[in-house]
């Protein structure tokens, strides 16, 4: 998520500077499809 949100450089920096602890949670998401909506079409 950090790489997707922050880009490759800052995502890697964030991951390296926030080490895993006993209370850390890792969530790995693998979407099989995307649900999108273009709200601009409804505005005009």
Q: What share of the chain is helix, strand, coil (3-state, %, to 5)?
A: 45, 0, 55
pTM for this entry? 0.44
Place 44 in a pLDDT band, splitting at 50, 70 and 90.
low
Mean pLDDT of 15-43: 83
Provide the residue count of the chain.
44
Tens-place pLDDT, residues 7-27:
999 989 998 898 788 898 888
How far is C-alpha 18 from the geometric centre of its chain's CA atoms? 15
Phi, psi of 28 (to 5 degrees): -110, 115
Counting Cα atoms < 13 Å in the Cβ hemisphere of 21 gives: 4
Predicted local confidence at residue 18, as pLDDT: 85
Place 32 in a pLDDT band, splitting at 50, 70 and 90.
confident
């Amino acid at each position: 998520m950090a790489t997707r949100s922050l880009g490759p450089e800052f995502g890697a920096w964030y991951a390296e500077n926030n080490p895993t602890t006993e209370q850390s949670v890792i969530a790995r998401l693998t979407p099989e499809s995307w649900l999108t909506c273009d709200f601009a079409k409804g505005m005009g």
